[in-house]
Amino acid sequence: MIIHSNVKELLPFSDLKNIYVVADFDKTITSGNSATSWSILASSNLVPSSYIKERDELYKYYRPIEVDEKKKRLLADLPVA
């Protein structure tokens, strides 16, 4: 298992064998206006301000792509490996 060194620093109290990550990139397990894991972390005191800054930059770049219907259709046509 590969564990980024920041995880050990941010979660020194945890047993890293019992950490689970739930990612819902395409909102198949969430619905409507539910908060994303990204927004929950950004609004908490659990992550450094550098995370929030980088998260905001990535959001501004990728969000328009995610909601662009033409690009969604093009991506849907890509072959799956």
Q: How far apart are CA 15 and CA 8, in angstroms?
A: 10
Residues 37, 43, 44, 49, CA torsion sign = positive
Q: Which of 73, 70, 66, 71 is nearest to 27 (CA)?
A: 66
Question: Greater confidence, 38 or 4?
Answer: 38
Q: Check residue 1 and give its pLDDT.
A: 43
Domain ranges of the chain: 5-76
φ and ψ at 22, to 5 degrees?
Answer: -110, 120
Question: Greater confidence, 50 or 1?
Answer: 50
Query: What's the mean pLDDT in 68-75?
Result: 78
- In total, the chain counts a number of residues equal to 81
Q: Check residue 44 and give its pLDDT.
A: 81
The model's pLDDT over 9-66, given as tens digits with 9 standing for 90+, comes to 666 666 666 667 777 766 777 776 777 777 787 888 888 888 889 988 988 998 888 7
φ and ψ at 6, to 5 degrees?
Answer: -65, -30
